[in-house]
Amino acid sequence: MYEVTVQETFAAAHFLRGYEGNCNSIHGHNFRVVVTVEGERLNELGLLVDFRELKGLLRQVTEAVDHKNLNEVPPFDGEKNPSTENLAEYFYCRVKAGISNPHARVKEVCIWETDIQSAKYRPTSSK
């Protein structure tokens, strides 16, 4: 099994609707997103996925949320809370859609909200 990992950072504000505590008020983080892609077969160049391609995909997603209030960015502008867990799934879905090698799949996305806390999204085999 091969794995390729890239990371990117972005700054954003958010608040958690319905949360009882400080996180129900708007606040910000310098997020770090770590995406790992895995697969058993390499392409004709011997790559699972080109780092440039994967970094570009991740950069597109981070640019859409960088320096934004996440509560104003779909799908978090409705009832879905911009929790770190939901952000990890959001990044997973968007990066997954852009990978060109059909034998590569996003294994997991880890989002660091601070230096000491993170959340991961790892799909079930049916996703």
Confidence check: pLDDT of 126 > 90? no
Percent of all residues in the chain with a pLDDT value above 70, rounded to a whole number? 98
And the tokens for 19?
A: 């949360």
How many other CB atoms are there within 10 angstroms of residue 121's CB atom?
Answer: 20
Please tell me the predicted confidence (pLDDT) of residue 127: 45
Work out the average pLDDT over 79-96.
96
- CATH class of the domain whose range is 2-121: alpha beta
Place of tokens 């892609």: 37
Cis check for the bond before 123: say yes or no (omega within 30 of 0). no
